[in-house]
């Protein structure tokens, strides 16, 4: 009788050990991929997912958090999930703008375009009326209308950036009004030129050779600054074409980067996986590098070593 009880205890312990092992493997893989754990961090230094904040209120799950760095401007915008967006490749022969983001809902031919122009945005005063709206960051934007049309024509942001504007290409009624509402979440940060005790030369981002595929890779970050940068999940990919680095366009609408802060180990290092396929599709043959944005009195970009997709 006692032997049977002992056997059952052994069986139960074995089953529990297997279950715990499976739970550990699940969380280990999620931490490796920069995802929120399900059960526990199991003693690993891994920051929990933070709520995205906007004006002291958590951003709704109905929004995607979009961000982009253009030269010395870091732009952020919360885009409703019902809306799609597409970064428009700059035409080398087109010199009027530096950056363009297409925003559309049901019909791609009816859209709003967010521009950062090379020069100050200007309008024609004939037949024009306007109203000011307050953005979530406290700045004002101006919504322009023409010839009594109830649907807006343009939105300008002189208080933040005189070169930035949103132009309406065929959006009407509720769709046009929705753009006004979510454009209020726009925010920009200018890259700082101030000196800092954090030095990019104290950082290396190494793409680990034996992990490289056309779908993903792992990077090893070493940050030997006394005051280290905050290292998150976000990354970009650049390709070397004709000796110049070109930013790749995202193909994914899922740009709601999980907001976590990785902790470096005792060697001042942290390893991360970067998923090319999710954001860029399968990479073609070529020479690439990874770009990691970090904040140091303003956003700056740090670059990995070059690597080749064969």
Residue 180 has which token pair?
Answer: 């006004």
Fold of the CATH domain 200-309: Immunoglobulin-like (2.60.40)
| pTM for the full predicted model | 0.47
**Residues, the chain, total?**
310
- No. of helices (H) and no. of strands (E), the chain: 3, 20
Q: Give domain limits for the chain.
A: 1-46, 55-190, 200-309
Residue whose C-alpha is closest to residue 282's, from 223, 214, 192, 181? 214
How do beta strands 286-295 and 299-303 pair?
Answer: antiparallel
Q: How much is the pLDDT for 1?
A: 53
Is there a contact between 239 and 246 (Cβ–Cβ < 8 Å)? yes
Is there a contact between 141 and 154 (Cβ–Cβ < 8 Å)? no
Q: How much is the pLDDT for 192?
A: 55
Q: How much is the pLDDT for 233?
A: 83
Q: How much is the pLDDT for 95?
A: 66
Tens place of pLDDT per residue across the chain (310 aa) = 566 777 778 877 888 888 887 877 776 666 555 556 676 655 554 444 333 333 333 344 688 888 888 877 888 999 999 999 998 877 666 667 888 999 999 899 999 999 988 877 887 778 889 899 999 888 889 999 998 899 999 999 888 888 899 999 999 999 999 999 999 999 888 765 454 567 788 899 999 999 999 999 999 999 998 888 888 888 899 999 999 999 898 886 555 566 566 788 899 999 999 999 988 999 999 999 999 988 765 667 899 999 999 9
Neighbouring-strand partners of residue 236? 291
Q: Where are the beta strands (DSSP E) in 212-298?
A: 216-223, 236-241, 244-247, 269-275, 286-295
What is the distance between the alpha carbons of residues 186 and 163, in angstroms, rounded to a whole number?
14
């Amino acid at each position: 009788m006692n032997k049977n009880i002992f056997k059952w205890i052994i069986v139960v312990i074995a089953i529990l050990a297997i279950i715990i092992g499976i739970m550990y493997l699940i969380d280990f893989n999620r931490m490796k991929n920069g995802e929120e754990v399900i059960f526990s961090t199991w003693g690993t230094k891994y920051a929990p997912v933070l709520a995205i904040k906007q004006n002291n209120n958590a951003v709704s799950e109905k929004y995607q958090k979009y961000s982009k760095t253009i030269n010395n401007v870091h732009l952020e915008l919360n885009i409703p999930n019902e809306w799609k967006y597409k970064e428009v490749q700059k035409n080398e022969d087109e010199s009027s703008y530096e950056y363009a983001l297409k925003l559309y809902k049901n019909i791609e031919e009816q859209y709003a375009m967010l521009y950062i122009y090379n020069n100050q945005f200007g309008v024609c005063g004939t037949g024009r009326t306007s109203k000011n709206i307050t953005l979530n960051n406290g700045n004002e934007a101006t919504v322009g209308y023409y010839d009594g049309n109830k649907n807006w024509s343009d939105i300008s942001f002189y208080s933040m950036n005189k070169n930035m504007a949103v132009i309406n290409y065929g959006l009407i009624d509720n769709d046009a009004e929705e753009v006004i509402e979510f454009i209020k979440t726009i925010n920009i940060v200018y890259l700082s030129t101030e000196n800092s005790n954090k030095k990019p030369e104290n950082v290396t981002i190494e793409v680990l050779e034996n992990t490289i595929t056309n779908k993903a890779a792992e990077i090893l970050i070493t940050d030997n600054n006394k005051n280290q940068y905050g290292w998150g999940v976000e990354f970009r990919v650049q390709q070397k074409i004709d000796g110049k680095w070109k930013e790749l366009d995202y193909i994914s609408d899922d740009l709601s980067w999980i907001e976590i802060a990785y902790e470096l180990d005792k060697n001042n290092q942290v390893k991360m996986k970067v998923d090319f396929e999710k954001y860029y599709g399968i990479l073609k043959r070529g020479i690439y590098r990874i770009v990691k944005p970090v904040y140091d009195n303003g956003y700056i970009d740090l670059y990995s070593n070059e690597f080749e997709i064969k």
